[in-house]
Each structure stands twice: as structure tokens, then as C-alpha cells.
Structure 1
């Protein structure tokens, strides 16, 4: 029976205290993301029991409701039922609710959650572009001269596929400036203008020249290439959002048309180029050194830890912010030998465990849901239904998955597998293409991860068969 998305939206809004309790609503690839006016009004028990809700995750900054691949349809109905503006941050009764809001206590946890929320909120909207770029790159890698040899290096389709992927990552800061501005309720044009200067070819010429450059003849500007940057752009945009608010407060009304944009840009350029960018670059260099140290010192232990605990990062929504944060580091190094291989091993082990569950679960209803989750994973590359509906509920599935992930990660490390393609390839079973010249080693590790978790599930099973019931 087809899901009634309108009724699902009605049920969700009713459980969270009505549309008047919603300050902001957005969605990512599988989750509705609510910022509530009053978390105490949310009926968590009622919300978790709604048919169509896979899982509810409550953080200090967001109420995340996992829906799955149909999240965009549910989001559309939520906006219609709640009278929210689609695709834009929703501010409901800001003035009226301000008195009812209590100032949240600043703790290390709230700060960490705030950073994760800011990064994920800025990056999730651009994932479709990254996925599309990955598909074009996948075609070039698979059919290119180093693999099947269908394309030669001067083939125009081969050149174009590589161009699409390169262009998306080159202009990634420009996309992030827009989405981060939306996240921080700022005017996108100002951050986009700053980024346009940061990645302009003339700026790259200044950087490549290697000579001291003083911004406005006063501030020393560090010579940093910001193409493909992520975190420097998010931080700069956040600072620019406060600069915009400050400028709009101090500029008289009769000077606003000219004064506001000019003063914002005058302040934004040194903030981004002389403070935010260099600070983030220093952190990125530290991360590079840490990753190299982990690879040299911890080695196999590091990749096994990532593989075994990757699903828990997914559960807390931290996997994508982590990947996007490390993206510039990997691009600088040219490869990733720890996080991406570990994540891929975890994904294939998860597929194997879910397939064994679909075949061997001790209940007909469970097996049916197992097949649904398995098909969703291999056809749409969406693992949340399996993760929240099966793996975190059935402890044996989790145990088999972790064992398979660890074995696959060990094999990848021993064979020297390294990920060199940092965008997705659309399907979990095509992830071997992300290993580039190390594709064979990556594929063997993937097969080991899948087979180990699948065989464990088939041999050890999931308990004695029980008769299905309506409950």
C-alpha cells in the first residue's frame, strides 16, 4: 500500500507540537531537520511510533527525523501542511516566541553540536552536485585508458567527463558560500563575492608569485589557494553574516543603498583572507600531519577503528561533515588510506549482513523488511532504513557487520588500497572505482567485507524461527 505522505506530515507536525513550534525546517537526503521553538512540546514517544518514521534523533540544535529516500516528498507535504516556505529557512513567530525561549547553556557538547550543525547544514544541499560529478568521473575512470580502454586520453567525452568533475570541485567554495549564507540567514551575494575573489585566476597568480601581498596596503595576506576549500568558506561566511548584521545596524537609512554593501565588503575581505582562511589552513595542516601520523604509527589499527565504528558516525549524522572537512586534506595529499577505505569496507559489510538477515531472519515480516532494506541499499545507495530499522535493533546484524568491516579494512590496508576519487559513484557496489589505480586491492577488500558479514549471518543465523503476528 502506498504511503500517504500528507497524513505522515500531519502526524509528524502534531507530534512535535504543531507548526507554531517550528522555527526552521529543512531536509537532507534522508532526514527532516527541525529547529524547535520549545523542545519540551515534542512528544518523542508518539513521534517514534508514527508509521513512516524510521528513527528520531534529538540533538541540542536539531530534531532529526529519519524518513529515508522519500524524504523530499514528505518535506513537501510538511511545508504545505505547516505553511512553511519550501527550500528556505522558516522563521515562525520570531518576535512572539523570543520571550518563551530560554538561553541555552554553552557546553562543550552544545558547541560541538553547533559546529556539526553548521557544517552539515552548509554542505548537505550541495551533495547532489557532488554525486553527479562523481558519476561523470566514474564513467571516465571505468571507460578510460587505465581500465577498460574504451576512451583514449584525447577522446572528447573522456575529457568532458573529467572536466565536469574538476569544475564542481574547483568551484566548490562558490557553492558553499551560497548554501552557508542560507544556513546563517545571511545575504548570499556578499559571501559569494568574497569567494569569487579568493578563487579568481588573478588571485592564484598572486599566490603562485610567492611575493608578500598586503591587503589595502595594511594587512598581510597569507598566500593560500582556496580552490576546493570547505571549512574556510563556512567559517568566513559565518563571520560575514555577523558583519552584515553589524553594518546594517550602524549605517543610516539614507546611506544604506551604497553604504551597506560597500562597508560589508571592505570588512569581509580582510576577515576572510587574513583571519578565517589562514586559521582554517593551519588547522588543515595539523589534520594532514595527524592523518599521516596515524597512517605511519597506528596504520592498520586506524583503518579498523574507522571501519568498525563508521555506522555510529552515520547514526549521529557526523559522517558527512567529517568527510567534507577532510576533503581538502585528501586532495592535498592526493589519496586517503584510512577514512574512505574504512567507510567503504563498513558499507559493503553492512550490505552483506543485511542480505543474510533478509534470508535468515527468524520471522517472515523481518525477512520482508530485510529485502526492502537490502534493495534500497544496492539500488539507491541509502542505508538509513537498514541502519535504524534492522542493524541497531538486531544486535547480531551489528556484530556481523562490524566483523566484516574489520576484515575488509585489514585486507585493504595489507594490499595498500588508497582512495583517489573523492566523490561518490552512485552505487555502493561501484565503490571500487574510487580506488583508481588501486581498484583491484580495493575490490578485494570490499569482497572480503561483504563475504565475511554475509557468511557469519548465514552460518550463525538470527535465532529460532518464530511465527509472524500482527504486532
Structure 2
């Protein structure tokens, strides 16, 4: 599906642009803050064929769609006519303080992911070039590249000021100016000179705010509170200059005297606490982090660890990321193991492509949502392999020396010692790959389905794919005796979740209706298929239906045949249960459903197996 249509679908299902307070994105998911959660059609979002998963966590609705998320995000911004400062009123949902804190951290950090990733790779490249003696720190080339890699982290208070303010609904550029004040050369020179400074007689602690995280979070939260209240008391005609002036006048001194130092100390305390726990039992920490990290990713909570990781790097190195990388490697290994184990063509294509993508990009959500959550037996393998890998990396005492939050082949130099880190990752991938190969990756009823699929070519003459997405129904459940009695032929029915019918096979259109509610076709192998959308929908006289083909057209499997407005048909009082009938059933020995009744199916998945009479 193209990004325009996907963005339109998502906006509609989250309750429309008027229900969106804010939207950001990370590497694979859209992150919505909605005003009213009951307006979100979560079930329909989860059933959408281009959406991997829907997660509600930390006050956010997270829609996982994959690595093309940035293109869809831009289209959603355009269609919703949002801007950088949009805030559509206060949410009616009650959130805990902890949920609000997590939402603020993740919503502020995720827009900076591309900058982090690019700068992190640049710093890793410099390490490689220096170790190969291609560049030295004294050269001009090294200095230019180092500036490119260091700038994002040095000026992080400015960038974070902008993103934090957007989440809080404050002016992002004033917030950026507050962050810049902490890095202003005349102010930083006072610390470097060792001067004692006061502001209106109050001592000002001179600390290093470069690359800091917590001071700007607290400072901008204070600024947002001040700005909001100033707007209540200052006349609208002078707000444009009075509010920013007073906000800066109040916030910057308070930040340098109180908020900033508290933020620095808070970051140091949290980092020391986490590192103390890790160092107290490095191996146990490796087992816990390596085995459980993917569950943080599952709910989008892993970004809350970024401030601590960055604070650790200010002191030289971090222990968290290498241990967490074991969990990511375990997901990669499961994809590889499923690829080697499965005989199902679709699963082989999915597992192979997601493994390759993960190795190159470090993005494993498609593996997590597309394979591991679908085949939950593999979740055990992920925990076991991740825990073993985390313990190994802990034993090897691997540390992150330059920031990078993605595990891929290009970020190996960010870890030290690199060779031992690579060894730990490779062992983890191998363990995770071997487990599904030996023990399988499906539960018994899933394995039976795959075994049937493996032998499908021997048992059947033709496979009919699903023309719709929705819930499978027995033909006898259809509220029309013509279909339920099998007078028209044997088959199956689907309760649709989306308003599109696609061709279930390659073939020729044999029947179209002026009302657009039904279509018949003949497959290349001779199956005569009737798809009838809804019960008595002929009475609508074509309203809410658009037929996209004509009688005699050659069509390919998966090609759209009919578009229909599902919600409006239901509102008009009609049942939308759709029979899919083989009208020449007498020519077949068996017409068997692949998917059990009441289970969900997506269009283009196997629906019926046909075996002709000999």
C-alpha cells in the first residue's frame, strides 16, 4: 500500500486528526498522543495488513509499521495539517506520573534518532580510521570529521530543548535558546577559568552542561510551566515579545543556580546507581538485561535508558548497550533459524528479509512483531539466547565507547574490545538460530498447518487465496439460505475488516454487477469463484460500492476488484458477511478451508484448497 493511503487509514483509525494531540516517530513506529482513547479503533489498526503491531504504553499509542515509518509520518503530518507546535487540547485520559515521565523522555528523544545514528557512525568511523593509522587526531581531516560526530552530543541541550518543548506544547525555539545559554562561550569560559560567580548575590555553581540530558529536561519543563501561566496574565497584544522575554529572564538564572546543578547531580546519581548494580554482579546483570531487553523494546520503554547511557558516556564508557545488544542479536538469530527451518515460502521470505535488514540496520521490530510474537515458542529462545549472550559479553567486559543505540555490522567499532564483542554477538546469533532448528518454532497446531502447506502441491490441484481481510466464517453461518444451504456451491465466508476485495487467483472476470457488490471469475485452472459482499446489499443500488474491473478483464492474484465503504454499509443496516463460493463445486473431490472458522485472515493468504475429481 502506498504511503498516502496508509497515512489516511491510520489517521482515520486513531480517531481523526482532531483526536491527535501529538505525533512523533522512531525507527519503526509512529507514536501518537490522543485526546480520547475510546475513539481509537485498535482492533482495526491491528488487522491492517500494513501495520505490524499496535502498542499502548507510557501514555502513547504506538503504531509499528517498519523502516519506512518516516515517509508515512511526513504524510500524516501533511494530511493532518499538524505543525511543530500543535497541541489539540488536554488529553482526557488520566496518566500516572511515571507514564508521563516515560512519555516525555521517549517523545523527546525519538525525533533525534537519525542524528544520533549518523553521528554515532561517524565517531565509530573515526575509531577505525585511527586504529588503521589512516588518520591521526592532529590532522585537519580528523578535526572536521570529529566535529561532525561530536556536535550532536555536545549541543544536545539545544536539540533536546526543541523536542522537549514540542512534547510539552511550549515554544520550541525559546526552549532551544535556554539550552544554548548553558553552552554560551562567555558562560562556559567562567568554568574553564575557575572563577567564582554569583547572580544577584546568589552563588552560581559552574558545571559542564555539554552533552547533558537531565538539566534541560527539568529546565524546559519549568519553562513550559512559566510560559503557560504568563500567557494567562499577559495581554495578547504584547505576548509575542513579553512572554519569551520573561520566560528567558526567569528560566535561565533559575537553571544555572538551581535546576541545572540538580539535573547534573540527578543524572550522575542515576548513572552511578545503575552502574553499581551492574558492577555488583556483572554476569547476573548481563543475564537479566540480555534476556529481558526485548520486552522493553516491545513496549517502547527502552528509550528511557538513553539519558543514563549518555551520562555514562560522559564519563568515558557505558555497560548497558553491549549487554542489551545480546537481546537484539537473539532476535536476529531466531530469524535466521526460522529461515533455515521453515519450508513455507512466505515465512522463508519474511525471516530471510528481516534477518538481512536487521544485520545491516539494527532494526529488529519486524522480527519481533512479525515472527516472535506470532510464534511465541520463539520467545523462550529469545530469552535463553539473550541471557547467555549477555553473560558472555559481561564476562568479556565489553563497553560502549561512543554512542550508538543500534546493533549492526557498521557499529561494531563503537564497542571495546571490538573482537570480543563480535564473538559474543556471533555466539548469541548461533544459539538463537540453533534452537528453532532443533526444537521447531511453532506450537503443535501451527506445525500441523505448516506441514499441510508443505504438502499442498501433492494434495491439491489449486489454492484459492483470501480476497478479503477479516474473520473466517462457515458458509452455514451466512444469513442467506441461498449461500448457507450451499445451493450456489461450497466455500467459505469472511466477515471483512477492510473495504477491499482483491482477486483470489489469476484468471478472467466472468461476472460483474451494476450494483458493484459482487464479482465472479474463472481461474486459469478452471475454478469458478463468486465473491458476494454482504447480504441483500444489492438493495443499495451501487451506493458505497466501486467495481474496479469489467467482464472479460484478465486479472492477477492480489489485484483490487471492488472497493466498498464498510462502515457506511453497516450503518445502513446491512450485514457485510461475504461468501466466497466455488460455483462449479461438483467438479471437485475436496474443497477444504485452510484457516479454521473464527480465526483472522489477511487478504492474499491461503483460504481454500481445491482437489479436482479424478
Does TM-score exceed 0.5, indicating one fold?
yes
Residues 153 and 394 of structure 1, relative CA distance in 2, 3 Å threshold: same
| Contact persistence 1:348–1:428 (CA under 8 A) | no
Residues 134 and 206 of structure 1, relative CA distance in 2, 3 Å threshold: same
Give the corresponding residue for 2:309: 327
| Contact persistence 1:354–1:373 (CA under 8 A) | yes
C-alpha separation between the residues in 2 aligned to 1:389 and 1:47?
15
Match of 2:421 among 432, 439, 442: 442
The structure with the largest helix share of the pair is: 1
Give the corresponding residue for 2:396: 415
What displacement does 1:68 show?
0.8
The number of residue pairs the alignment matches comes to: 450
Residues 365 and 189 of structure 1, relative CA distance in 2, 3 Å threshold: closer
**Secondary structure of 2:400 counterpart:** coil
What displacement does 1:349 show?
1.9
| Contact persistence 2:57–2:300 (CA under 8 A) | no
Give the corresponding residue for 2:586: none
C-alpha separation between the residues in 2 aligned to 1:253 and 1:22?
26
Residues 361 and 271 of structure 1, relative CA distance in 2, 3 Å threshold: farther
Give the corresponding residue for 1:354: 335
What displacement does 1:209 show?
4.3
Query: After the TM superposition, which of the residue ranges 160-169 and 50-59 deviates more from structure 2?
Result: 160-169
Give the corresponding residue for 1:187: 171
Q: Are 1:129 and 2:115 an aligned pair?
A: yes
Residues 132 and 356 of structure 1, relative CA distance in 2, 3 Å threshold: same
What displacement does 1:344 show?
1.5
| Contact persistence 1:26–1:89 (CA under 8 A) | no
**Secondary structure of 1:321 counterpart:** helix
**Secondary structure of 2:415 counterpart:** helix
| Contact persistence 2:28–2:66 (CA under 8 A) | yes
C-alpha separation between the residues in 1 aligned to 2:65 and 2:408?
20
Give the corresponding residue for 2:521: none
- Per-residue deviation, residues 28-58 of structure 1 (Å, max 9, x unmatched): 2221222222211222211110110110012
What displacement does 1:442 show?
1.3
| Contact persistence 2:327–2:383 (CA under 8 A) | yes
Q: Are 1:379 and 2:377 an aligned pair?
A: no
Give the corresponding residue for 2:101: 115
Q: Which runs of 5+ in 2 are unaligned?
A: 454-593, 595-605, 608-614
What displacement does 1:198 show?
0.8
Residues 253 and 401 of structure 1, relative CA distance in 2, 3 Å threshold: closer
**Secondary structure of 1:466 counterpart:** helix
C-alpha separation between the residues in 2 aligned to 1:257 and 1:396?
58
C-alpha separation between the residues in 1 aligned to 2:2 and 2:25?
19
Give the corresponding residue for 1:62: 60
* Residues 57-456 of structure 1 aligned to structure 2 (within 5 Å): 57-59=55-57, 61-81=59-79, 83-85=80-82, 88-92=84-88, 94=89, 102=92, 104-105=93-94, 110-144=96-130, 146=131, 148-215=132-199, 217-252=200-235, 256=239, 258-323=241-306, 325-337=307-319, 339-361=320-342, 363-424=344-405, 428-436=408-416, 438-456=417-435
What displacement does 1:257 show?
5.6
TM-score (norm 1): 0.88
| Contact persistence 2:358–2:364 (CA under 8 A) | yes
What displacement does 1:253 show?
5.3
What displacement does 1:227 show?
0.4
| Contact persistence 1:139–1:161 (CA under 8 A) | no
The two structures, once aligned, show a CA RMSD in angstroms of 2.4
TM-score (norm 2): 0.69
| Contact persistence 1:353–1:450 (CA under 8 A) | yes
Greater length-normalized contact order (CA 8 Å, ≥ 6 residues apart): 1
- Per-residue deviation, residues 49-99 of structure 1 (Å, max 9, x unmatched): 011011001236221111111112222333444x322x525445x4xxx7x
| Contact persistence 1:353–1:457 (CA under 8 A) | yes
**Secondary structure of 2:62 counterpart:** strand
Give the corresponding residue for 2:15: 17
The structure with the largest strand share of the pair is: 2
**Secondary structure of 1:290 counterpart:** helix
Q: Are 1:457 and 2:436 an aligned pair?
A: yes
| Contact persistence 1:25–1:90 (CA under 8 A) | no
| Contact persistence 2:330–2:386 (CA under 8 A) | yes
Residues 254 and 457 of structure 1, relative CA distance in 2, 3 Å threshold: closer
What displacement does 1:261 show?
3.0
Larger Rg: 2
What displacement does 1:254 show?
6.2
Residues 257 and 42 of structure 1, relative CA distance in 2, 3 Å threshold: closer
C-alpha separation between the residues in 2 aligned to 1:252 and 1:17?
35
| Contact persistence 2:313–2:402 (CA under 8 A) | no
C-alpha separation between the residues in 2 aligned to 1:342 and 1:317?
18
